[in-house]
């Protein structure tokens, strides 16, 4: 996980965090322009994430739920003013993009599949987000209308296609998806924490909820290709997860939906 040393002025932050920040070593751990993430090296470590107003509400809700399941660190604070602010306890270890883990790709692949199967077998009857797929497909439709898309998410696995063809695939296939599985929602190597190969927790849970397992399966295969720079582990990943639970055509629909973010 990237950590770039930075100097912070407590007065630039909400009053609730000023004493926490004052005198502490701090590091920028941001990985996207949509949110700023600061690691505060105090009391075992914690992460302060900020984004536009309302953007972190679901992440805070899902992080609290996953913490209750023993699957992530504690939510220490969340509130929304001009911006959203989410403070969480550090999850021990390093994420799966650490060089030690990437150096053993077969082991990493198997662990990724096994941990996903454990997550998907977790009872999510009390999950606060019970119908993730409606929002998932609504986002695809909205971004199609706005002309926002990246065809590579589909073409990397299924060949050339246009945006019109991708949304047609989504519309034809969406009725086959269920909300029967507890999802991470962004199941990628940077969001899975290990401590000397022992699973310690998930992070970045804003896309989680009860949905269809094929969303996480798509991202698990995608992240192995992206981070290992090879597609050699795709089939191994599916084998380790359990082929009896996978419908290949639904992975194709997910790929089409991900074209539209």
Catalytic machinery residues: 186
Rounded to the nearest 5°, which phi and psi values hold at 194? -125, 145
- d(CA 105, CA 115) in angstroms, rounded, equals 15
Give Cα 42 to chain centroid, integer Å: 25
Beta bridge partners of 49: 37, 86
- d(CA 157, CA 171) in angstroms, rounded, equals 19
Closest C-alpha to 204, from 52, 46, 32, 59: 59
In this structure, which long-range contacts are made by residues 145-151, counting pairs with CB atoms below 8 Å and at least 24 apart in sequence?
148/260, 148/261, 149/259, 149/260, 149/261, 150/259, 150/261, 151/259
- Cα atoms found within 13 Å of the Cα of residue 71, Cβ hemisphere only: 25
Give me the count of residues in the chain: 261
Please compute Rg for the chain using Cα positions: 19
């Amino acid at each position: 996980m990237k950590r770039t040393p930075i100097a912070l002025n407590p007065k630039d932050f909400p009053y609730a965090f000023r004493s926490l920040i004052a005198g502490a070593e701090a590091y920028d751990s941001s990985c996207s322009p949509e949110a700023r993430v600061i690691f505060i090296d105090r009391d075992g470590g914690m992460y302060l994430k900020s984004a536009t107003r309302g953007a972190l509400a679901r992440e805070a809700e899902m992080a609290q739920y996953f913490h209750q399941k023993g699957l992530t660190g504690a939510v220490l604070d969340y509130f929304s003013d001009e911006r959203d602010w989410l403070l969480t306890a550090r999850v021990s270890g390093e994420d799966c993009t650490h060089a030690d883990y990437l150096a053993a790709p077969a082991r990493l692949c198997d662990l990724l599949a096994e941990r996903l199967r454990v997550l998907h077998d977790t009872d999510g009857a009390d999950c606060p987000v019970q119908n993730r797929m409606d929002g998932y497909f609504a986002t695809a439709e909205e971004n199609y209308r706005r002309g926002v898309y990246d065809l590579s998410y589909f073409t990397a696995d299924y060949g050339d296609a246009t945006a019109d063809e991708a949304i047609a695939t989504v519309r034809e296939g969406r009725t086959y998806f269920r909300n029967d599985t507890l999802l991470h929602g962004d199941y990628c190597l940077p969001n899975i924490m290990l401590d000397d190969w022992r699973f310690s927790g998930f992070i970045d849970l804003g896309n989680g909820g009860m949905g269809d397992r094929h969303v996480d399966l798509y991202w698990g295969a995608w992240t192995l290709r992206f981070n290992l720079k090879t597609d050699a582990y795709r089939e191994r990943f599916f084998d380790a997860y359990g082929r009896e639970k996978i419908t290949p055509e639904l992975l194709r629909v997910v790929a089409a939906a991900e074209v539209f973010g």
